[in-house]
Protein backbone atom coordinates (compact mmCIF):
# COMPACT_ATOMS: atom_id res chain seq x y z
CA UNK A 1 0.00 0.00 0.00
CA UNK A 2 1.20 3.46 -0.87
CA UNK A 3 1.84 6.07 1.78
CA UNK A 4 -1.08 8.42 1.49
CA UNK A 5 -1.32 12.08 2.25
CA UNK A 6 -4.53 14.07 2.55
CA UNK A 7 -5.11 14.18 -1.20
CA UNK A 8 -4.75 10.47 -1.77
CA UNK A 9 -7.51 7.87 -1.72
CA UNK A 10 -7.55 4.14 -0.98
CA UNK A 11 -6.57 2.07 -4.02
CA UNK A 12 -8.97 -0.77 -3.33
CA UNK A 13 -11.53 -0.63 -6.12
CA UNK A 14 -11.64 -3.26 -8.87
CA UNK A 15 -12.31 -0.42 -11.31
CA UNK A 16 -8.81 0.86 -10.55
CA UNK A 17 -7.32 -2.35 -11.91
CA UNK A 18 -9.47 -2.00 -15.02
CA UNK A 19 -8.27 1.59 -15.52
CA UNK A 20 -4.63 0.59 -15.14
CA UNK A 21 -5.02 -2.32 -17.56
CA UNK A 22 -6.70 0.00 -20.06
CA UNK A 23 -3.91 2.54 -19.62
CA UNK A 24 -1.16 -0.04 -20.08
CA UNK A 25 -2.88 -1.80 -22.99
CA UNK A 26 -3.79 1.24 -25.08
CA UNK A 27 -1.53 4.06 -23.90
CA UNK A 28 1.77 2.38 -23.13
CA UNK A 29 1.33 2.96 -19.40
CA UNK A 30 1.15 6.75 -19.86
CA UNK A 31 -1.51 8.55 -17.82
CA UNK A 32 -1.00 11.81 -19.75
CA UNK A 33 -1.83 10.14 -23.06
CA UNK A 34 -4.84 8.41 -21.55
CA UNK A 35 -6.27 11.57 -20.03
CA UNK A 36 -5.74 13.53 -23.24
CA UNK A 37 -7.58 10.82 -25.20
CA UNK A 38 -10.45 10.71 -22.72
CA UNK A 39 -10.89 14.46 -22.72
CA UNK A 40 -11.18 14.34 -26.52
CA UNK A 41 -13.83 11.58 -26.33
CA UNK A 42 -11.93 9.11 -28.50
CA UNK A 43 -13.56 5.99 -29.91
CA UNK A 44 -11.98 3.75 -27.29
CA UNK A 45 -13.09 5.48 -24.09
CA UNK A 46 -14.83 3.32 -21.50
CA UNK A 47 -18.04 4.78 -20.13
CA UNK A 48 -17.33 2.94 -16.86
CA UNK A 49 -14.25 5.07 -16.20
CA UNK A 50 -14.61 8.44 -14.53
CA UNK A 51 -11.99 10.95 -15.69
CA UNK A 52 -11.80 12.26 -12.13
CA UNK A 53 -10.87 8.78 -10.93
CA UNK A 54 -8.17 8.47 -13.58
CA UNK A 55 -6.76 11.80 -12.41
CA UNK A 56 -6.84 10.62 -8.78
CA UNK A 57 -4.89 7.48 -9.67
CA UNK A 58 -2.38 9.56 -11.59
CA UNK A 59 -1.97 11.87 -8.61
CA UNK A 60 -1.51 8.91 -6.27
CA UNK A 61 1.15 7.47 -8.56
CA UNK A 62 3.08 10.73 -8.67
CA UNK A 63 2.90 11.09 -4.91
CA UNK A 64 4.02 7.50 -4.33
CA UNK A 65 6.81 7.77 -6.88
CA UNK A 66 6.09 4.31 -8.29
CA UNK A 67 4.04 2.90 -11.14
CA UNK A 68 0.77 1.61 -9.70
CA UNK A 69 0.43 -1.31 -12.11
CA UNK A 70 3.00 -3.66 -10.50
CA UNK A 71 1.49 -2.85 -7.10
CA UNK A 72 -2.13 -3.54 -7.98
CA UNK A 73 -2.32 -5.85 -11.00
CA UNK A 74 -2.18 -9.63 -10.66
CA UNK A 75 0.16 -11.82 -12.67
CA UNK A 76 -2.74 -12.92 -14.91
CA UNK A 77 -3.66 -9.30 -15.58
CA UNK A 78 -0.06 -8.45 -16.45
CA UNK A 79 0.11 -11.43 -18.82
CA UNK A 80 -3.05 -10.26 -20.57
CA UNK A 81 -1.59 -6.80 -21.08
CA UNK A 82 1.48 -8.42 -22.63
CA UNK A 83 -0.78 -10.27 -25.08
CA UNK A 84 -2.55 -7.04 -25.97
CA UNK A 85 0.72 -5.23 -26.60
CA UNK A 86 1.86 -8.10 -28.85
CA UNK A 87 -1.39 -7.78 -30.83
CA UNK A 88 -0.74 -4.06 -31.28
CA UNK A 89 2.82 -4.81 -32.34
CA UNK A 90 1.69 -7.31 -34.99
CA UNK A 91 -0.79 -4.84 -36.45
CA UNK A 92 1.65 -1.96 -36.52
CA UNK A 93 4.31 -4.13 -38.16
CA UNK A 94 2.06 -4.32 -41.22
CA UNK A 95 2.61 -0.61 -41.81
CA UNK A 96 6.38 -1.07 -41.81
CA UNK A 97 6.42 -3.42 -44.81
CA UNK A 98 7.27 -1.49 -47.96
CA UNK A 99 5.67 -2.37 -51.30
CA UNK A 100 3.33 -4.84 -49.65
CA UNK A 101 1.75 -7.01 -52.37
CA UNK A 102 -1.16 -8.24 -50.28
CA UNK A 103 -2.98 -5.13 -49.07
CA UNK A 104 -5.84 -7.00 -47.38
CA UNK A 105 -4.14 -7.39 -43.96
CA UNK A 106 -3.39 -3.66 -44.00
CA UNK A 107 -7.03 -2.84 -44.73
CA UNK A 108 -8.12 -5.05 -41.83
CA UNK A 109 -5.57 -3.31 -39.59
CA UNK A 110 -6.96 0.07 -40.70
CA UNK A 111 -10.45 -1.11 -39.77
CA UNK A 112 -9.35 -2.30 -36.33
CA UNK A 113 -7.24 0.73 -35.45
CA UNK A 114 -9.33 3.52 -37.03
CA UNK A 115 -10.55 6.31 -34.78
CA UNK A 116 -14.10 7.62 -35.19
CA UNK A 117 -13.30 10.19 -37.87
CA UNK A 118 -11.38 7.64 -39.98
CA UNK A 119 -13.82 4.75 -39.61
CA UNK A 120 -16.16 5.47 -42.59
CA UNK A 121 -13.20 5.60 -44.98
CA UNK A 122 -11.76 2.40 -43.49
CA UNK A 123 -15.09 0.60 -43.95
CA UNK A 124 -15.47 1.86 -47.52
CA UNK A 125 -11.95 0.66 -48.40
CA UNK A 126 -12.69 -2.80 -47.00
CA UNK A 127 -16.06 -3.09 -48.75
CA UNK A 128 -14.47 -2.07 -52.08
CA UNK A 129 -12.48 -5.33 -51.99
CA UNK A 130 -15.76 -7.30 -52.08
CA UNK A 131 -15.41 -11.09 -51.98
CA UNK A 132 -11.62 -11.18 -51.74
CA UNK A 133 -11.60 -9.77 -48.22
CA UNK A 134 -14.54 -11.81 -46.87
CA UNK A 135 -12.37 -14.60 -45.36
CA UNK A 136 -10.33 -11.99 -43.46
CA UNK A 137 -13.49 -10.33 -42.16
CA UNK A 138 -14.90 -13.68 -41.06
CA UNK A 139 -11.66 -14.41 -39.21
CA UNK A 140 -11.95 -11.05 -37.42
CA UNK A 141 -15.61 -11.70 -36.59
CA UNK A 142 -14.67 -15.06 -35.03
CA UNK A 143 -11.70 -13.77 -33.04
CA UNK A 144 -12.50 -13.87 -29.31
CA UNK A 145 -9.65 -11.48 -28.49
CA UNK A 146 -11.06 -8.64 -30.56
CA UNK A 147 -14.35 -8.71 -28.63
CA UNK A 148 -12.31 -7.70 -25.58
CA UNK A 149 -12.12 -3.89 -25.08
CA UNK A 150 -8.50 -4.24 -23.96
CA UNK A 151 -7.43 -5.46 -27.39
CA UNK A 152 -6.88 -3.26 -30.46
CA UNK A 153 -10.19 -1.90 -31.68
CA UNK A 154 -11.58 -1.56 -28.13
CA UNK A 155 -13.86 -4.59 -28.60
CA UNK A 156 -15.64 -2.97 -31.57
CA UNK A 157 -13.67 -4.49 -34.46
CA UNK A 158 -15.96 -7.54 -34.91
CA UNK A 159 -18.96 -5.21 -35.07
CA UNK A 160 -17.40 -3.28 -37.94
CA UNK A 161 -16.41 -6.55 -39.60
CA UNK A 162 -20.10 -7.53 -39.48
CA UNK A 163 -21.07 -4.18 -40.98
CA UNK A 164 -18.63 -4.72 -43.83
CA UNK A 165 -19.88 -8.25 -44.42
CA UNK A 166 -23.44 -6.96 -44.65
CA UNK A 167 -22.44 -4.30 -47.16
CA UNK A 168 -20.56 -6.86 -49.26
CA UNK A 169 -23.48 -9.29 -49.06
CA UNK A 170 -21.47 -12.48 -49.46
CA UNK A 171 -23.36 -15.56 -48.28
CA UNK A 172 -20.14 -17.17 -47.02
CA UNK A 173 -20.55 -14.94 -43.97
CA UNK A 174 -23.98 -16.25 -42.96
CA UNK A 175 -22.92 -18.99 -40.55
CA UNK A 176 -20.30 -16.84 -38.81
CA UNK A 177 -22.76 -13.96 -38.40
CA UNK A 178 -25.34 -16.37 -37.03
CA UNK A 179 -22.92 -17.97 -34.58
CA UNK A 180 -21.97 -14.54 -33.19
CA UNK A 181 -25.57 -13.81 -32.13
CA UNK A 182 -25.86 -13.92 -28.36
CA UNK A 183 -22.15 -13.33 -27.79
CA UNK A 184 -22.24 -9.58 -28.46
CA UNK A 185 -23.69 -6.50 -26.78
CA UNK A 186 -26.97 -4.93 -27.87
CA UNK A 187 -25.41 -2.59 -30.45
CA UNK A 188 -23.17 -5.28 -31.92
CA UNK A 189 -26.02 -7.77 -32.13
CA UNK A 190 -28.09 -5.22 -34.02
CA UNK A 191 -25.27 -4.95 -36.54
CA UNK A 192 -25.20 -8.75 -36.91
CA UNK A 193 -28.94 -8.81 -37.64
CA UNK A 194 -28.61 -5.96 -40.13
CA UNK A 195 -25.81 -7.81 -41.89
CA UNK A 196 -27.87 -10.99 -42.20
CA UNK A 197 -30.81 -9.00 -43.51
CA UNK A 198 -28.55 -7.26 -46.03
CA UNK A 199 -27.39 -10.63 -47.40
CA UNK A 200 -31.05 -11.29 -48.12
CA UNK A 201 -32.66 -14.49 -49.38
CA UNK A 202 -29.72 -16.87 -48.73
CA UNK A 203 -29.60 -15.70 -45.10
CA UNK A 204 -33.38 -15.94 -44.72
CA UNK A 205 -33.40 -19.48 -46.14
CA UNK A 206 -30.66 -20.57 -43.74
CA UNK A 207 -32.42 -19.01 -40.73
CA UNK A 208 -35.76 -20.60 -41.58
CA UNK A 209 -34.09 -24.00 -41.85
CA UNK A 210 -32.53 -23.55 -38.39
CA UNK A 211 -35.85 -22.24 -37.02
CA UNK A 212 -37.60 -25.50 -37.93
CA UNK A 213 -34.83 -27.81 -36.71
CA UNK A 214 -35.60 -30.29 -33.94
CA UNK A 215 -35.23 -30.58 -31.01
CA UNK A 216 -35.73 -26.93 -30.12
CA UNK A 217 -32.60 -25.45 -28.56
CA UNK A 218 -30.57 -22.24 -28.40
CA UNK A 219 -30.00 -22.28 -32.17
CA UNK A 220 -33.76 -22.08 -32.80
CA UNK A 221 -33.90 -19.07 -30.49
CA UNK A 222 -30.98 -17.40 -32.28
CA UNK A 223 -32.67 -18.00 -35.64
CA UNK A 224 -35.89 -16.44 -34.36
CA UNK A 225 -33.95 -13.43 -33.07
CA UNK A 226 -32.23 -13.03 -36.45
CA UNK A 227 -35.54 -13.33 -38.31
CA UNK A 228 -36.84 -10.29 -36.43
CA UNK A 229 -34.73 -8.33 -38.92
CA UNK A 230 -36.98 -9.81 -41.65
CA UNK A 231 -40.24 -8.95 -39.87
CA UNK A 232 -42.99 -8.23 -42.34
CA UNK A 233 -41.66 -10.75 -44.83
CA UNK A 234 -44.72 -12.99 -45.52
CA UNK A 235 -42.62 -16.18 -45.60
CA UNK A 236 -41.03 -15.38 -42.24
CA UNK A 237 -44.37 -14.45 -40.68
CA UNK A 238 -45.93 -17.67 -41.94
CA UNK A 239 -43.11 -19.77 -40.51
CA UNK A 240 -43.33 -18.03 -37.13
CA UNK A 241 -47.09 -18.40 -36.85
CA UNK A 242 -46.84 -22.07 -37.80
CA UNK A 243 -44.27 -22.59 -35.05
CA UNK A 244 -46.46 -20.77 -32.50
CA UNK A 245 -49.37 -23.01 -33.45
CA UNK A 246 -47.42 -26.24 -33.04
CA UNK A 247 -44.68 -25.94 -30.37
CA UNK A 248 -45.01 -26.54 -26.65
CA UNK A 249 -45.40 -22.91 -25.60
CA UNK A 250 -45.09 -23.53 -21.88
CA UNK A 251 -41.62 -25.05 -22.22
CA UNK A 252 -40.44 -22.72 -24.98
CA UNK A 253 -41.77 -19.33 -23.88
CA UNK A 254 -38.59 -17.37 -24.69
CA UNK A 255 -38.46 -18.90 -28.17
CA UNK A 256 -42.14 -18.08 -28.61
CA UNK A 257 -41.50 -14.47 -27.57
CA UNK A 258 -39.00 -14.06 -30.40
CA UNK A 259 -41.45 -15.67 -32.83
CA UNK A 260 -44.11 -13.15 -31.83
CA UNK A 261 -41.69 -10.24 -32.26
CA UNK A 262 -40.89 -11.43 -35.77
CA UNK A 263 -44.60 -11.08 -36.56
CA UNK A 264 -44.75 -7.40 -35.61
CA UNK A 265 -45.13 -6.04 -39.14
CA UNK A 266 -47.79 -8.44 -40.43
CA UNK A 267 -49.72 -6.98 -43.36
CA UNK A 268 -51.86 -9.97 -44.35
CA UNK A 269 -55.37 -9.89 -42.80
CA UNK A 270 -55.44 -13.70 -42.71
CA UNK A 271 -52.12 -13.90 -40.82
CA UNK A 272 -53.23 -11.17 -38.42
CA UNK A 273 -56.38 -13.15 -37.68
CA UNK A 274 -54.42 -16.34 -36.96
CA UNK A 275 -52.09 -14.52 -34.56
CA UNK A 276 -55.02 -12.95 -32.69
CA UNK A 277 -56.74 -16.34 -32.46
CA UNK A 278 -53.58 -17.77 -30.93
CA UNK A 279 -53.67 -15.10 -28.22
CA UNK A 280 -57.20 -16.15 -27.32
CA UNK A 281 -56.24 -19.76 -26.61
CA UNK A 282 -56.57 -20.74 -22.95
CA UNK A 283 -53.11 -22.33 -22.93
CA UNK A 284 -51.43 -19.29 -24.46
CA UNK A 285 -49.01 -17.61 -21.97
CA UNK A 286 -50.28 -14.29 -20.64
CA UNK A 287 -47.02 -12.47 -21.36
CA UNK A 288 -47.27 -13.47 -25.01
CA UNK A 289 -50.92 -12.42 -25.10
CA UNK A 290 -49.86 -8.94 -24.00
CA UNK A 291 -47.13 -8.84 -26.65
CA UNK A 292 -49.62 -9.72 -29.37
CA UNK A 293 -52.10 -7.14 -28.09
CA UNK A 294 -49.41 -4.44 -28.28
CA UNK A 295 -48.52 -5.52 -31.81
CA UNK A 296 -52.18 -5.45 -32.84
CA UNK A 297 -52.54 -1.90 -31.53
CA UNK A 298 -49.79 -0.82 -33.91
CA UNK A 299 -51.61 -2.40 -36.86
CA UNK A 300 -54.34 0.24 -36.54
CA UNK A 301 -51.90 3.18 -36.44
119-145 pLDDT, tens digit each: 999 999 999 999 999 999 999 999 999
Q: Is residue 47 helix, strand or coil?
A: coil
* pLDDT tens-digit map of 157-209: 999 999 999 999 999 999 999 999 987 666 788 999 999 999 999 999 999 99
Q: Is residue 150 helix, strand or coil?
A: coil
pLDDT band at 2 (very low <50, low <70, confident <90, very high): very low
User: What's 217's DSSP letter?
Assistant: -
Q: How far apart are CA 284 and CA 269, in angstroms?
A: 21
Q: Whole-model pTM?
A: 0.88
pLDDT band at 227 (very low <50, low <70, confident <90, very high): very high
Q: How far apart are CA 54 and CA 52, in angstroms?
A: 5
- Rounded to 5 degrees, φ, ψ at 29 are 80, 10
Higher pLDDT, 174 or 11: 174
Q: How does the average pLDDT of the chain come out, rounded?
A: 91
High-pLDDT (> 70) share of the chain, %: 93
Question: Is residue 28 over pLDDT 90?
Answer: yes
Apex CA 184: angle with CA 182 and CA 190, to 5°?
A: 90
Amino acid sequence: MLNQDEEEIPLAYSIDNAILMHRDAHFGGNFDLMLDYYKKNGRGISQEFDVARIEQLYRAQRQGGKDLAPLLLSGAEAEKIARVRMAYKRLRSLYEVKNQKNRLPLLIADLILAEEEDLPAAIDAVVAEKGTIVPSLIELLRSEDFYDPLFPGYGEAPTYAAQCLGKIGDQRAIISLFEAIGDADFYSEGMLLEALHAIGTPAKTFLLRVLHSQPINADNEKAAVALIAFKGDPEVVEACINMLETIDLKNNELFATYLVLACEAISSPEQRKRLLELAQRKDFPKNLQKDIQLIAQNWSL
